[in-house]
């Protein structure tokens, strides 16, 4: 996910936990827990997105509140007063602990029914889906848990990748590029401008035996001068809008642009920008207030 953070949704009986780790190696540190009394699901999703942009690394949803976690060193610099002002809220310090170990302990397999299973190498389980992807959970975006990744994967099962060229813009763990390769793509360029993500994606490509996926540390400029049959972009509204013209240039005539990292309220703005560049809407799906949009050229 092109220099963005990860959203990993783990469902438990009483809460949902989101872990967002844009910076590697900060496994032991002191955190500030922000508790915001908000119960509306849409307001929570918006708060998560806004607080993540301020440096919050993890979120937990309980029945009564949204809990956000941010390194203590970053908290003083975060501009959050206007974000949380409408809601009752409290703060407390959380002692140092191994957040990486806690994250891996909670990592659960993800199944897109009848299509694909995403699991870690330490999961001892048999799968009954046609496709299986093994992702080493090293805190880069795209383990399949978040709604946007699941939406992208769900629509990918209805796209013909056989012998196609693919550009995975903001690849994160490489999960979507790897899936495209397993679906028959002849070549996949997977780019991420976060060095940690690019390294993780390259490891996962090797682990999944998909040599047709080439991972680069960079952004859309790495695709300059080339065009692709399918462009995958699970990023966010700001990046998608910023690079809409570049993405149009990168897609072959008759090709497909598949985008997510978007909330439902982002649709009109992103749709209009895509249409203005020449794309035509083909499909839109929604899950938990997140959307995926498919355009054709």
- Condensed to tens digits (0 to 9), the pLDDT of residues 157-183 reads 999 999 999 999 998 889 999 999 999
Residue 185 has pLDDT above 90, yes or no: yes
Residue of higher predicted confidence among 96 and 254:
254
What pLDDT score was predicted for residue 10? 30
Q: Which CATH number fits domain 140-296: 3.40.605.10, 3.40.50.300, 3.40.50.150, 1.20.120.790?
A: 3.40.50.150
Which pLDDT value is given to residue 100? 54
**Domain boundaries along the sequence of the chain:** 8-104, 140-296
**Which pair of structure tokens corresponds to residue 86?**
């409408």
What pTM, to 2 d.p., does this model score?
0.71
Give the model's confidence band at 98: pLDDT under 50 very low, under 70 low, under 90 confident, else very high: low
Determine the average pLDDT of the residues in 112-136: 85
Average of per-residue pLDDT across 25-49? 78
Q: Which residue has the higher pLDDT, 185 or 106?
A: 185
Give 279's contacts (C-beta < 8 A, 6+ positions apart).
248, 257, 295, 296, 297
Residue 3 confidence (pLDDT) above 50: no
What confidence score (pLDDT) does residue 19 get?
A: 42
| 268-289 confidence digits (pLDDT tens) | 999 999 999 999 999 999 988 8
CB pairs under 8 A, 24+ apart, for 43-49? Answer: 45/263, 45/288, 45/289, 45/290, 46/263, 47/83, 47/84, 48/7, 48/18, 49/263
Query: In CATH, which of 1.10.10, 3.10.20, 2.60.40, 3.30.70 is domain 8-104?
Result: 3.30.70
């Amino acid at each position: 996910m092109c220099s963005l953070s990860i959203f990993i949704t783990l469902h438990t009986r009483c809460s949902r936990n989101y872990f967002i780790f844009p910076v590697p190696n900060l496994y032991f540190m002191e955190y500030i827990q922000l508790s915001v009394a908000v119960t509306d699901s849409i307001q929570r999703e918006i708060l998560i997105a806004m607080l993540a942009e301020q440096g919050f690394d993890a979120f937990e949803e309980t029945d009564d509140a949204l809990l956000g976690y941010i390194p203590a060193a970053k908290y003083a610099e975060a501009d959050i007063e206007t974000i949380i002002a409408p809601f009752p809220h409290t703060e407390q310090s959380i002692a140092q602990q191994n957040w990486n170990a806690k994250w891996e302990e909670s990592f659960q397999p993800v199944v897109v029914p009848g299509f694909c299973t995403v699991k870690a190498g330490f999961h001892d389980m048999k799968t009954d889906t046609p496709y299986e992807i093994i992702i080493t959970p090293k805190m880069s975006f795209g383990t399949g848990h978040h709604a946007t990744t699941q939406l992208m994967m769900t629509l990918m099962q209805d796209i013909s990748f056989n012998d196609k060229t693919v550009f995975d813009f903001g690849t994160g763990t490489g999960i979507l590029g790897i899936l495209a390769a397993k679906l028959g793509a002849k070549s996949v360029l997977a780019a991420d401008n976060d060095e940690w993500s690019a390294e993780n994606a390259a490891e996962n490509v090797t682990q999944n035996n998909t040599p047709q996926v080439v991972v680069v540390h960079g952004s859309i400029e790495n695709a300059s001068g080339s065009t692709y049959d399918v462009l995958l972009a699970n990023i966010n509204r700001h990046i998608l809008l910023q690079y809409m013209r570049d993405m149009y240039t990168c897609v072959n005539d008759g090709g497909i642009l598949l985008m997510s990292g978007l909330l439902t309220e982002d649709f009109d703005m992103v749709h209009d920008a895509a249409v203005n560049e020449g794309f035509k809407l083909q499909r839109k799906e929604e899950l938990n207030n997140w959307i995926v949009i498919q355009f054709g050229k």
